[in-house]
Structure 1
């Protein structure tokens, strides 16, 4: 991934944005320290990729889920006496 300075980014912003939109992401650095990464909007960020519904149909939650173990909990904490 290419790294550019803030000055270079300001000077060539249009060209850099066009390249990023085509998938050529880049990093803007200040004094040699990376500050931001510029990527195309449609490019997924690895941390943001979540597979919702991954276990759909493979895990069954029993109908009495909310009351499982309630007797033991009541006995331990003295509830319901």
Structure 2
């Protein structure tokens, strides 16, 4: 994958788009008068391990799904109630 090269004036106008490219892993080189002055690269964030005991505690606090509810009827009523 080669770096995307763009001049400073264009970079000012397209900064959000260039940030998204860098975040997606495509380095962006910004030039001034044909010379590279800045290289945008995405940040690497460290993944955190999930503690199984904390996960179990969170999921045990969640209410069990109700078996007596007709999901289609519930969605239909939500849709109709908010419409009118």
* Dislocated runs of 4+, deviation >6 Å: none
Residues 1:27 and 2:29 aligned together: yes
Superposition CA RMSD, Å: 1.4
List runs of 5+ in structure 1 lacking aligned partners. Answer: 44-81
Q: How many residue pairs were aligned?
A: 43
Partner of 2:41: 39
- CA separation in 1, counterparts of 2:34 and 2:11? 14
Structure with larger Rg? 1
- CA separation in 1, counterparts of 2:4 and 2:24? 14
Alignment deviations for residues 24-66 of structure 1 (CA, whole Å, 9 cap, x no partner): 11100000000011000118xxxxxxxxxxxxxxxxxxxxxxx
List runs of 5+ in structure 2 lacking aligned partners. Answer: 46-84
- CA separation in 2, counterparts of 1:20 and 1:31? 22
Shift of 1:2: 1.3
More helix by share: 2
